Structures are given as structure tokens and as C-alpha cells.
Amino acid sequence: MARNISVGIDIGSHQVKVVVSERINEKDKDFPKIIATGYSESKGLRHGYIINSADVTESVKEAIAQTEKIAKIKIKNAFISIGGVGLESVTDTGSAIVSRGDGEITELDIEKVQEAARLQLSQAAIINRKILHSIPLSYKVDGKDIMSNSPIGMKGLKLDCKMLFITCLEQHLNDLIAAVEEADIDVIDAMATPLAGSLVSLTKAQKMAGCVLANIGAETVSVVIFENGIPYSLEVFPIGSTDITNDIALGLRVSLEEAESIKLGAITGTQFPKKELDKIVVARLSDIFDLIEAHLKKVNKNGLLPAGIILTGGGSSIHTIEELAKAALKLPSKIGTFPLSQDGKPVKDASWSPAYGLTIWGFTGDSRIKSSGDISAIGKKIWRGLHNMVRPLLP
């Protein structure tokens, strides 16, 4: 009997991470069992962009080989994440006249109004870009807001829909797919890294109440805002925990290796003045939280997210980051946890959440965070029968 296995590959600026999950029974519906993980140093990337495709391929091969050895299987295809400063989100609204004579709204009307919203996007917003995900935020029937995820079955003359579109640079996506396929892995689908991480790092209650997930990576900080259970906005900033390491190295006149250990608290004692170190770290973290606060103000959500900010990524392990985030954003703050490890125990290293989230997406998908659905048109041997899959949203 074939095993029900899903593979996620998260290609970050610091590391390539691979997770293999298996769904054995219905108890594994939300969080399937992790049977193997692997990682390698990420090479050939800068701020999420590919600058050397061959190096990226070698990094993927190394992480895959490590994972295959543990899982004792041959990995042939996978879901991949795409991040970097090329990720953006934009909203627009479409309108459509209900097609049926009796005014009942059908799936066809939903498709029409969502396509109308896509056609409203300005050329500047989508030139050289690929729509990764199309997410309906709200609907109106005859000008009145509805309190439902879908207006199907309701009656009216006119349907309006506000949509969130998450886009990436098309060339970057093409390059990423090509680099992974050069490692003999077929790409089934691609998902925005912050959304992949949210499938693991956030609870249904947090998404419903309203929260912001901030992933502090090596070279970028990505934020995705949730409200009423769905993504509301996404943004990526070209700053990360590597900038803190560099600041420590310059400020304390130490090597980069020592600076990284100091940043993570691995080196302690009196050889480095704590006051000076705190000043350096706080200054850079303040820059990061200022960017997040500016984005929250831009979308009118500053101070209005009851579930607060959840911090993930390698940079979230910095001492006192929770307190700094709480003070800077005036929101509840907590470090995200990775819900399961191979022995079933929770772990704090949430940097694995995008790769694990991809495997969950592979099993259950997401009906409201729709894939572009035509990766095969820009890649090579992609989708293979999964072209029309619909994926319901996880808690």
C-alpha cells in the first residue's frame, strides 16, 4: 500500500529546509507526522533572489539527500515556498451581475466576480509579476455586506467582492522552479513563505481575532496580517537578523562568528559590555518594528489586533525580543512555537514552520488561499494531475 507522504522545501536566504510528513490516519489531519527533516546552508541567494542557480541547486540536493537518508525514501516531487523582497500583496474590488434569472448566486458568479477584481488590477501592480494566491476578503450582495465566507445560495442582482492578490516576480519564480527541478525534484506547487509558516505557527483563534505573524529571517522580515480567519495583508522588508549580527561585529569589534553567538546568547560573561550590546541589538530591532508599525498603520490595523504579534524565524530567538515588540507595537507579543517534532514534542525553533506548513498544504490545501493554478505554464513538468485541486483553510 502506497504511503500518504507530502514533502515541503523552504529555500531561505540562510538555510534550505526539507520536511517529509506522513498522514497515517484521520488523527493526522491537522498536523501530520514528521518522518524526516534535512537542511543545508543556503547558497546562491540574496534577499530571497537567486543570484547563482547552480549554487541553489546544490544546496537543495544536499538537503534532499540528508532527508532521504533519514526517511529511507526517494523524494521525487515537493511543494516549495517562495519568499524574498519580491513578494507583495495588493487588493482590488470586482463587480458582476448575478447570472441566474431567479437571482440565486452560484459558483459561476463567484468565479466571475473574482475575475472582475483581477482585471481591475493596475498594469503597474502586475507587470512582470505572477499572481501566487487570490484570496476573497469580503462580499457584498446588492451593496450590503454579508457575514459569510461565501454568498452561494443567497439571492440578489449584483455581487461585489474585495480580493487580496499575493504576487511575486515571475522571473524569480521561474528561476526557483528551474533550480529545484535541476535537483531532480518536480515542483507540484509554490506558496508564499509567510502563508506556509502561518499554517503551523498560528491557531484558528489567533487568525479569527486578528494578529500579525512576523518572520524575522536572515536577510528579510516578512509580515502577514490575519483577520476573521484569512490573510488581510502581506509585506516583506529587506532587513533581517544578519544585520544585527553585522552591527554586533562592528560595534564590539569581533568576528562574525562570535557576533552570531553573542546575538543568540551562546557567549556570555563580562568580556563584552552588556549595556553596549543591548544598545546595538535594540537599535536594529527598533528599525524592524518601526517598519512593521508603519505597515500596520498603512492598512489601518495598528493597535487593533487582539491576538497581537507572533514572532518566528531565526531572529525570534534573540533575548528580550518579546518585550521590545510589545513596547514598540503596543500589542501582545509572543514567540511562535513549532507544534511537533519527530518525537511528538513541541519545539521552539519556528524557523521550520514554512517547510512543515508546505507539507500540510500538500495534504489538505486551502480553498480560500487559492493557488495560481497554472505553475505548469511557466515551469516544466509541474502539477501533474493536481492542477485543479481545491485546498480548504486550516486552523
Count of C-beta atoms within a 10 Å radius of residue 294: 12
Is residue 55 in a domain? yes
* 186 pLDDT more than 80: yes
With bands split at pLDDT 50, 70 and 90, how would you rate the model's confidence at 24? Answer: confident
* Span 249-279, pLDDT tens digits: 999 888 998 888 888 776 655 567 778 888 9
Is residue 392 in a domain? no
Is the domain of 208 the same as that of 294?
A: yes
For 186-212, b/e burial (b = at least 16 CB within 10 A) is bbbbbbbbbbbbbbbbbeeebbbbbbb
Please give the model's pTM, rounded to 2 decimal places.
Answer: 0.86
Is residue 341 in a domain? no
Is residue 102 in a domain? yes
Is residue 282 in a domain? yes
Is the domain of 52 the same as that of 10?
A: yes
Total structural domains within the chain: 3
* Span 62-111, pLDDT tens digits: 999 999 999 999 999 999 999 888 899 999 999 999 999 999 999 999 99
What's the chain's length in residues?
Answer: 395
Is residue 323 in a domain? yes
Is the domain of 71 the same as that of 190?
A: yes
pLDDT of amino acid 388: 32
- Please classify residue 64 by burial: count the beta carbons closer than 10 Å to its beta carbon, then call 0-12 exposed, 13-18 middle and 19+ buried: buried
Is the domain of 292 the same as that of 215?
A: yes
Is the domain of 66 the same as that of 151?
A: no
Instruction: Decide if 198 contacts 214 (C-beta within 8 A).
Output: no
Is residue 277 in a domain? yes
Count of C-beta atoms within a 10 Å radius of residue 329: 21
Cα–Cα dist 280/394, whole Å: 39
pLDDT of amino acid 376: 40
* 367 pLDDT more than 50: no
User: What domain range is 76 assigned to?
Assistant: 5-84+170-200+349-377
pLDDT average, residue stretch 159-183: 95
List the CATH number of the domain containing 16: 3.30.420.40
Is residue 387 in a domain? no
